[in-house]
Amino acid sequence: MKIFRLCLLLTLSFPLFSFSQSYSNIDFAAQISEKSIKKNVKSLCSDIMQGRETGTEGQKNAAVYIYSQFKQAGLQAVDKSQDSLSYFQSVKLSKLGLPSATIKVNKKTFYNYKDFVAGSIQDSIFKDLDIVYIGNSPIQNYSEIDFTNKAVLFLTSNFHKAFSQAYDIWKHSKPSLILFCDPINTSLFDRYIHTSKSVRYKRFRLKKPIDTVDSRIFGKESDFYNYLRTHEIIPISVRLTKAITGLKLKQLKNSLANQNQTTPIIAHLQLQLKNNDEIIKTENVISLIEGTEKPEEFIIISAHFDHLGVDKKLICYGANDNASGTAALIEIAKAFKYAELKGQRPKRSVIFTAFTAEEKGLLGSEFFVRNSPVPLKSIKANLNMDMLGRIDEYHSSANYIYLLGTSHLNPQLKPISDSLNGLYSHLILDYKYDQPHNPFYGSSDQASFVKNKIPSIMYFNGLHDDYHTPEDTPNKLDYKNIERVAQLVFLTAWELSNQD
Ligand SMILES: [Zn+2]
């Protein structure tokens, strides 16, 4: 066996082994066992974890479990204080409610999601705002009028195009509010109410959303998108339009056909809008093995530990999604610690991160990269595990793993994975989904690293019928598969953290 290893060593351009006394990376990988993985999975899927939904008691119990595993193994916190709390990166999220808002015109009150849709970025109050009604005339007809600190109401015969018409108005002279009404296709307005409600309600987002829109992506329109973050473009009902303009439906329809300049009607409105968002406090759990030669460079191994919680009184255990990856993460971290105890620390530092709020839109990892405990530039790679140990429809046994991202930002990742797998894990490495635009590549926490140009590999066993149901239970996992994937991830991280 040893001779075989040495032969391989000679054929590879990167060092696979660091020998010290009689221990090698293989000995450390061999510490990862299906038995311990199974124990972790069972704990993470126990009833007190309640399906680990972000912000719930169950999720916090899971966070404490992961922390205690790190701590008992002797892994450090990233923060030098080594205080218990320093293993937790606290993440504040907003759980979106429906904003309550009213518009008052001529002492009549109109309500949000009934006569208008204000999706609201921030709470706002407008008292006695001048509102200029311009019908369906092109905005050029009103070049003399300044809309600053006013609201503009226009008519459209194309509900979907209204937002680009609003863009023209915004370019003219940035009003405080833009309202529009489509007096013909009123069913589109009703549908818009319905979809806006369902898109928004109970969604999560980071407490502090992105400050500004990136002008590199949105070009000269980025100012407009920034405007949209704090101002509203508000579709309104025919009822409200009538109240503002004093016109009847027939007159509104007629003015749709009239594109000549008309004298704008000036009315006044009051708008009061309040977000009903709830603050959710949650946490990532992070530990560290400090490197010897390049401690200021980092490899990050990750898995999300949150799941969906309870659905109609049934616990969604999330054994495969993603107690499997979290269990593997814990055992990989312990294998690194074991190596340290045997006198071998990697050259670079390795960070082990269990992410929260992945199921809410990759928010735990998004928060992590925006508030990284180490400079993003010093993160050399991320290895992320999500959904291990099940068999999808394209395979007949659990001797495989999908790898995604291996050729995207660091082409070395594929040959390294192939070599190490051939050496020890002997899985079928399936690269079927390994293209930068594959949706799976953007669907788990590696995406937050990839966005920041950090090379990442996603380890994933594919979809199955129990995905996101209470049927995703620990008894359905193939623990040997998880063990072998975890060993491959360990060896890959060992290689990346020891490369020259
Ligand atoms: Zn997942």
pLDDT tens figures, 305-325? 999 999 999 999 999 999 999
Assigned CATH for 100-274? 3.50.30.30
Mean pLDDT of the region 263-280 = 87
More confident site: 141 or 30 = 30
Task: Work out the pLDDT band at 2, boundaries 50, 70, 90.
Answer: very low
**Ligand 1 mean position to 303 CA, how many Å?**
8
Q: Could you give the CA distance from residue 23 to residue 37 in angstroms, rounded to a whole number?
A: 23
pLDDT of residue 75: 96
pLDDT of 4 > 50? The answer is no
Nearest Cα to Cα of residue 374 among 482, 310, 299: 299
**Ligand 1 mean position to 74 CA, how many Å?**
27
Residues of the chain with CATH 3.40.630.10: 2-95+279-498
Contacts (Cβ under 8 Å, ≥6 apart) of 366:
206, 448
Domain 2-95+279-498 of CATH type 3.40.630.10? yes
Residues of the chain with CATH 3.50.30.30: 100-274
Prediction pTM value: 0.83
**Ligand 1 mean position to 236 CA, how many Å?**
39
**Ligand 1 mean position to 418 CA, how many Å?**
25
| Cβ < 5 A residues, ion ligand 1 | 321-322, 386
Is residue 270 a contact partner of residue 107, using CB atoms and an 8 Å limit? no
Cα angle 184, 188, 193 (rounded to 5 degrees) comes to: 130
Mean pLDDT of the region 25-51 = 97
**Ligand 1 mean position to 305 CA, how many Å?**
8
**Ligand 1 mean position to 375 CA, how many Å?**
26
Is residue 185 a contact partner of residue 162, using CB atoms and an 8 Å limit? no
pLDDT of 106 > 80? The answer is yes
